[in-house]
């Protein structure tokens, strides 16, 4: 569905570039509203805005994954000042302050911002002086490399880069009147809090607090540890490294780290056989595949909370990016320790293993995991959790689990569609592994028939919940209530490989498209429904990741799918640059909401593009 340009066998990653009319405006709908992200493959990151203004407490050039403590912000910013040959000092950085002031206003001198191969680059122009900054994180290490380059200048200029430091939880704050920040002078730099180190040329220690720095809704104090500096002419650089972990081991020089990051991006796109926007999505997918305790984990989004993401993203992140061996490792680990706090997790796990085996032909994995997956499903229904198997129809009832669509109870349409799909998938996996799958197959047939009989609503689509408590529905009466509210979750009845409504009428899919589809995904509630406001999580907020199930449902019912991803392709230049966000408002212009980098949204867009592109 995306248009790709091919250049022989060499993959091309489209750069995303913004000019001064975006970069130079620190407004939410311009440079400060477009965010960039670089991940280190461990759960740490560098992130910020195109304009350079920090608008979230999680915006920093080095955030370190701390397995026991959660992600920690280390290096908040590197503030670049250029001294011209006339002696004039020109700051190229921007900070917001508690007073509401923006000072200085270096964003006004930004000529361009480019995200190329997943790496950000800024270019400032001061008359005939042009300065660039590039940065990268060393994959698999909590290590930042920054290169400042004089592109052009009539005479050498002075480059001074001030290191603004802290050490706090990613979403928190640190103030000068709190615990003292421990600083230790080391060769060509500084060691902060015994946790991370900075190094570069011309280090001059300073040591003072800058009070009242604002990052979005948070206010903090930043420690100016000192500044790096040198005189540089055209083509010359000032290079800075910051790293945590093995502090005594100096990382490679920043140009080496940048070159390695570009080469790795090329390998990822080559392995995925991706072109154009699909290549950009492949690099976005890479940010969500991290290693924790030396095993693969899905980061659910950025800023990352430290909690693993849903296996609903598995197929797009691993199978559509050429990472099946790494995915196999993940599935084997998760099958032994499935998430205990997510009622959907067992069903997405079975689905992920089924898709892996189907697409790779890995009979050994089917043989190894079919038994454990059966036990996972049984444990999820053992009465200790919120799910209960109704012996009358073979469907699942939910007892109001926290976090499940506002603590709903009853028989939810998506849980039962996933359950029907999981039973058939488990039967196939048992058969693939040479075992008897007749038990799950029989239960699948019964649950499928019950689903097809019980969920269709008179309105022409599926009930969102059947046998829910009447108290939850103002217009209900009696002990139980069937809720026909038009929501997108019914699409799983058609979209999954073993979905219960496959072969059934397409009226519900058409109704979902007419009422729920937006350029960026599907609303969680139709605008015509009671309670719609376009902003609440279940009151009409758009979830981009649901575009994948919608496209699958369209394909399964013979509806056209061409063009359904075009707006999401354009969205790669909005909000989270080079990626897709977690949510958007239901009403036009669909302003972003939630995290700007979302694993499921990227994975499902990439999966749909890979599966259905001509």
CATH number for the domain that contains residue 526: 1.50.10.10
The mean pLDDT value for 197-203 works out to 98
280 found inside a domain: no
pLDDT value at position 240? 98
Same domain, 334 and 250: no
Among the candidates 204, 239, 258, a domain finishes at 258
Give me the phi and psi of 481, to 5 degrees please: -145, 140
Among the candidates 218, 239, 258, a domain finishes at 258
The mean pLDDT value for 255-284 works out to 95
Same domain, 352 and 234: no
Q: Are 524 and 537 in contact (CB under 8 A)?
A: yes
Range of the domain at 47: 16-258
Lowest mean pLDDT among 139-143, 287-291, 381-385, 440-444: 381-385
239 found inside a domain: yes
Q: Residue 318: which pLDDT band, with cuts at 50, 70 and 90?
A: very high
Q: How many structural domains are present in the chain? A: 2
203 found inside a domain: yes
* 3-class secondary structure, 130: strand
Same domain, 373 and 479: yes
The percent of residues above 90 in pLDDT, for the chain, comes to 86
Instruction: Give the CA dihedral 101, 166, 64, 22, nearest 10 degrees.
Output: 20
pLDDT value at position 7? 39
Nearest to 447 by CA among 466, 424, 420: 420
CATH number for the domain that contains residue 61: 2.70.98
Among the candidates 258, 277, 303, a domain finishes at 258
Q: Are 577 and 35 in contact (CB under 8 A)?
A: yes
Report the C-alpha gap between 534 and 510 in whole angstroms.
Answer: 21
Same domain, 120 and 185: yes
270 found inside a domain: no
487 found inside a domain: yes
Contacting residues for 560 by C-beta, under 8 A, at least 6 apart: 554
Q: Residue 520: which pLDDT band, with cuts at 50, 70 and 90?
A: very high
Q: Is the peptide bond before 303 cis (omega within 30 degrees of 0)?
A: yes
11 found inside a domain: no
Lowest mean pLDDT among 45-54, 116-125, 271-280, 589-598: 271-280
Same domain, 223 and 335: no
Structure tokens at 262: 């570009």
278 found inside a domain: no
pLDDT value at position 276? 80
Report the C-alpha gap between 311 and 318 in whole angstroms.
Answer: 11
Same domain, 297 and 208: no
Same domain, 220 and 292: no
**∠ CA(524), CA(600), CA(342), 5° rounding?**
80
pLDDT value at 38 more than 60: yes
The mean pLDDT value for 296-309 works out to 92
Same domain, 315 and 444: yes
Same domain, 246 and 369: no
pLDDT value at position 6? 41
Same domain, 220 and 293: no
pLDDT value at 614 more than 80: no
pLDDT tens-digit series, residues 447-500: 999 999 999 999 999 999 999 876 544 444 445 789 999 999 999 999 999 999
Same domain, 247 and 302: no
Structure tokens at 14: 């489209």
The mean pLDDT value for 563-590 works out to 96
282 found inside a domain: no
Q: Are 30 and 127 in contact (CB under 8 A)?
A: no
Same domain, 237 and 363: no
Report the C-alpha gap between 261 and 522 in whole angstroms.
Answer: 35
């Amino acid at each position: 569905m995306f248009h790709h340009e091919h250049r022989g066998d060499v993959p091309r990653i489209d750069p995303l570039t913004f000019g001064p009319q975006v970069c130079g405006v620190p407004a939410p709908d311009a440079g400060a509203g477009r965010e960039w992200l670089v991940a280190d493959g461990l759960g740490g990151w560098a992130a910020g805005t195109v304009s350079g203004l920090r608008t979230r407490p999680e915006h920093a050039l080095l955030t370190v994954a701390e397995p026991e403590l959660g992600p920690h912000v280390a290096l908040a910013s590197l503030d670049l000042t250029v001294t011209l040959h006339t002696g004039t000092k020109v700051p190229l950085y921007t900070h917001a302050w508690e007073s509401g002031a923006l000072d200085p206003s270096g964003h006004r001198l930004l000529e361009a911002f480019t995200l190329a191969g997943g790496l950000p680059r800024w270019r400032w122009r001061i008359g005939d002086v042009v300065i660039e900054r590039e940065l990268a994180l060393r994959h698999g290490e909590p290590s930042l490399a920054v290169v400042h380059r004089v592109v052009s200048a009539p005479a050498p200029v002075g480059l001074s880069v001030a290191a603004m430091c802290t050490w706090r939880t990613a979403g928190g704050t640190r103030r000068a009147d709190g615990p003292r920040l421990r600083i230790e002078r080391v060769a060509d730099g500084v060691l902060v809090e015994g946790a991370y180190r900075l190094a570069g040329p011309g280090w001059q220690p300073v040591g003072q607090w800058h009070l009242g720095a604002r990052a979005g809704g948070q206010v903090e104090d930043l420690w100016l540890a000192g500044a790096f500096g040198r005189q540089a002419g055209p083509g010359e650089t000032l290079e800075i490294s910051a790293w945590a972990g093995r502090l005594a081991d100096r990382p490679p020089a920043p140009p080496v780290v940048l070159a390695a990051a570009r080469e790795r991006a090329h390998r990822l796109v080559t392995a995925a056989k991706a072109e154009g926007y699909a290549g950009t999505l492949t690099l976005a997918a890479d940010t969500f595949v991290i290693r924790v305790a030396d095993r693969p984990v899905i980061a659910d989004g950025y800023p990352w909370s430290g909690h693993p993401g849903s296996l609903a993203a598995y197929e797009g992140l691993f199978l559509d990016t050429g990472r099946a061996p790494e995915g196999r490792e993940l599935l084997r680990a998760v099958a032994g320790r499935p998430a205990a706090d997510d009622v959907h997790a067992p069903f997405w796990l079975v689905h992920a293993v089924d898709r892996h085996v189907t697409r790779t032909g890995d009979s050994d994995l089917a043989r190894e995991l079919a038994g454990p997956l059966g036990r996972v499903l049984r444990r999820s229904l053992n009465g200790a959790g919120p799910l209960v198997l109704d012996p009358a129809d073979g469907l699942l009832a939910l007892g109001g689990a926290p976090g499940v669509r506002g603590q709903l109870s009853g028989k939810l349409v998506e849980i039962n569609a996933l359950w029907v799909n999981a039973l058939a998938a488990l039967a196939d996996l048992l058969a693939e592994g040479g075992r008897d799958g007749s038990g799950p197959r029989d239960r699948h047939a019964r649950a499928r028939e019950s689903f097809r009989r019980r969920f269709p609503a008179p309105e022409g689509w599926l009930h969102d919940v059947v046998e829910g408590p009447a108290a939850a529905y103002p217009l209900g009466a009696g002990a139980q209530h069937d809720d026909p509210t038009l929501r997108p979750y019914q699409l799983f009845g058609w979209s999954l490989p073993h979905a219960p409504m496959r072969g059934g009428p397409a009226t519900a899919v058409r109704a979902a498209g007419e009422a729920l589809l937006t350029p960026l995904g599907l609303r969680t509630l139709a605008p015509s429904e009671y309670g719609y406001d376009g902003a609440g999580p279940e009151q009409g907020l758009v979830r981009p990741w649901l575009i994948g199930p919608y496209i699958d449902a369209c394909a399964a019912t013979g509806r056209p799918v061409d063009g359904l991803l075009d707006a999401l392709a354009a969205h790669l230049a909005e909000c989270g640059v080079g990626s897709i966000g977690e949510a958007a408002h239901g009403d036009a212009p669909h302003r972003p909401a939630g995290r700007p980098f979302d694993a499921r949204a990227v994975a499902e867009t990439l999966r749909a593009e890979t599966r259905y592109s001509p």
